[in-house]
Each structure stands twice: as C-alpha cells, then as structure tokens.
Amino acid sequence: MKFGVCISNFENAVFLSQLGYSYIELGLQEIADLSDDEFLNLYKACQRNPIKAEVFNSCIRRYNIVGPNVDWDNIKIYIAKAIPRAYLLGAQIIVFGSGGARRVPDRFSREIAKQQIIDFLKFIGDFSAKFNIKIAIENLNNNECNILNTVEEELEYVEKCNLANVGVLADFYHMRVENEDFNVLKKVSNKLFHVHIANSNGRFYPKNIDEDNYKDFFAVLNEIGYDKRISIEARLVAETDYENAFNVLNIFL
C-alpha cells in the first residue's frame, strides 16, 4: 500500500516525501479555478517535487449535479478544463465526493437524483478514460450529504454505470460514523480504487493504533489484497501529525 496526504498545494511535498509518503491528494476544483499562469507555476512546482499529485478530490463544487436546474453546459466546460489539468499533474484517481453538488434538494425525487448522479458519473467516467484516469465514488456520512452514505450504496451506482474506470472509495471516517461493517469491502474488492482514513473521533490524523478501530479495517484490506493508495484526509493540528500518522499506518503493512 502507498500512503498519501490530502493537502492544498505542493508546499510540503518534499517534507512528506522524506517522511515516507508516496503521493499527495489535491483538490480538482482548486486547480480548475487557477488562471493559466497560476496553473503553469503549479505545474512547474509539481515537476520539481519527488512526489506527485496522483489523486484529486473535490471533484465538483461550483455546479449542482442533482436537482431541477442542472447546468450541463457549464459542467461539461468545467470537466473539459479540470481533467486535463489533473492529468498533467499526475492524476490517476479522481474522487467523487462533492456532497454539496450531489445533495438531493427537499421534496426532489430521489429516483431522479440517482439517475442524475449516474449520468454525471458516466460522463466524467467516459471523459477521464481518455486520460487513463479512474473515478472513485466516495461514501459521505448522512451529516454531510443525504445520498451515497455507505460503501454498500456506492456499489449500486458502480454497477449501473458499468464503466471499467468507475469504482469505489472506502472512507474509514465515514464508515465509522455510519457504523458500516468493514466486511462490506469484501463485496467491492474488485472495484475498490481508493481509501481515505482519519480518526473518527474529531477527524484528526491517526496518532496511535488503539485510538480507533484501525486494526479491523486493515485486517479486511489485507484479506482482500488491497495494495493501492490510502490518503489521510484529516484535520492537521501540528506538523508532527504527518510523521505520527505515517508511523501508525505503516504498522499495518
């Protein structure tokens, strides 16, 4: 397994590499919002660093993909700009969390909402396939979004999309909040593209192996032979959190 960190830029990339991290995870919306000159500077910074931005989260923020007024014209323009930029920075995975964009409005049909999400996933999946990039659907707990709250639910969308590059992200924090059984990972093992982790008590960086149920989570990951990326998506309190978390996670390799 490879460990990475969700951060906003390449500022700490060298330091993270020295600690043993293999990649960083940036925000897709943020890089799409950059001017051409700003993106060029970011690209140059990427080339200088020992680890790359292999994963991007915050897939879409500005445009709702669910509801009565989905702006497909601007969504397509946004994706056509964001995905190539991510590719140039080294993207291999795009995380589809985007709780605000996919939230189902009050009194809006959930069946229509599901189809709208599937339509979006098919579009971004087809487009990203041109760049050999995979889309990982992220489970978000019900406090953050009112749809796609569990890994179990993700599998239904993956199957309906029926695209080789659209799969599942298992977020430990959200699974714990939703009290979802880790054994569900066995059902999605062939489509498990990515993993997020944080202490479920406050969403902080892991500090020791006994503070949360990390052991059972990694036991299932090891049982299904998961050997891809795990990103820490958590609140940073001190710079020492980076090293402490890496040491905790490295125990399970």
Condensed to tens digits (0 to 9), the pLDDT of residues 69-125 reads 999 999 999 999 999 999 999 999 999 999 999 999 999 999 999 999 999 999 999
Q: Give CA–CA dist 247/251, Å, rounded.
A: 7
Q: How far apart are CA 150 and CA 175, in angstroms?
A: 7
Closest residue by Cα to residue 124 from 156, 76, 170: 76
Give the pLDDT of residue 1.
Answer: 93
Instruction: State pTM to two decimals.
Output: 0.97
Nearest Cα to Cα of residue 17 among 31, 2, 36, 28: 2
Q: What is the pLDDT of residue 9?
A: 85
Quote the pLDDT of residue 248.
96
Q: Residue 35: left (phi > 0), alpha (psi -120 to 50), or beta?
A: beta
- Is 216 in a helix, a strand, or coil? helix
What is residue 116's predicted lDDT score, i.e. its pLDDT?
Answer: 98
Closest CA to 240 of 27, 26, 15: 15
Residue 233 phi/psi, 5-degree rounding, is -120, 95
pLDDT at position 136: 98
- Segments of the chain scoring below 70 in pLDDT: none
